[in-house]
Structure 1
Amino acid sequence: MSQITIGCFEDFEKFIGQDLGVSEYHQITQEQINKFAEATLDHQWIHTDPERAKTEGTFGDTIAHGYLTLSLVPYLWDQIIHVNNLKMMVNYGIENLRFAQAVLVNNEVRLQANLKNVVNLRGTIKAEVNVKLEIKDQKKPAFTGVLVFLYHFNA
């Protein structure tokens, strides 16, 4: 895995329409699912009750919360891109997010990214990134969407 280094708008601009790379795989554990349930107060049994999920659930096991998979983006994104000279980065939005397939406990996921567009807004860089969270050995991704980040560089 090679990480792309960005230091300014012009560095971003070179990658418009191109694949930026993929992260390493990350395994979703039951412990991580349970901690996410605690943090978000979402204790639905399809996430937190392995026995019930095996006997009553559609998937045959517990599944990760969709928003848990989405919350992994910063960790996985940092494996794809490194930004130098950064003052601050802000998550600005998510467009066309679609959860396409459930992520079962112990599945491994990784982020694939493609730079859709980048715009210089008077010194603030707005980057639109097509993302796909792939599930190891599965054809359908966990989700797809366009993430929008605002990058503020040091002067």
Structure 2
Amino acid sequence: MKTYQNIAQFREHLGREIGVSPWETISQGQINDFADATGDHQWIHIDRKKAAVQSPYKTTVAHGFLTLSLAPKLMSDLYKINSVKVGINYGTNKVRFMAPVPSGSRVRMRMTLKEVEEQESGGVRATTECVFEREGSDKPVCVAELITLLFEKSPFS
């Protein structure tokens, strides 16, 4: 994990890779829980028997948004900015789900700092490119530009 003392030091990483997260296993239990949370119970995600016969992957696969939802956890594995009091997920510029993530796969996230913009609210808007990789595959499973608002002073006080 990289530790930055403040946003100014974080900004020095502009245009460079921040790092690669540890591998994270996506279990069938996580997939089932995500299906319950989102109401997306397509058989390709939750029915192992049907997937073994009818799916081209011969097993269930994780929802693309489940993979993307790992970003906050994987980001916290990659870096910390000591001076930041509040970090808020602001959104995405683009997201592409490029390959399946079969149940039991291990994924990780490679993150590059693309942009840091001052905000009128006193914080900054940081845009990162996040490339999710599956162990044993050369093709990324997801590529996303994520936007985070970072505040060294709480915007709520």
Q: TM over 0.5: same fold?
A: yes
Distance across 1 between alignment mates of 2:11 and 2:53: 51
| 1:11 match: secondary structure | helix
Q: Which runs of 5+ in 2 are unaligned?
A: none
What amino acid is the match of 1:26?
Answer: E
Distance across 1 between alignment mates of 2:152 and 2:20: 24
1:137 corresponds to:
136
Q: TM-score, normalised by structure 2?
A: 0.93
- How do 1:106-117 and structure 2 match up within 5 A? 106-117=104-115
What amino acid is the match of 2:92?
Answer: I
RMSD: 1.2
What amino acid is the match of 1:142?
Answer: V
2:59 corresponds to:
61
Deviation per CA, 1:38-77: give whole Å up to 9, x if none: 1111111000000000101121100000110011111111
Aligned length: 153
Out of 85, 88, 105, which is 1:87 matched to? 85
Distance across 2 between alignment mates of 1:139 and 1:13: 30
What amino acid is the match of 1:135?
Answer: R
Distance across 2 between alignment mates of 1:83 and 1:8: 6
- How do 1:1-155 and structure 2 match up within 5 A? 3-122=1-120, 123-154=122-153
Percent identity over paired residues: 35
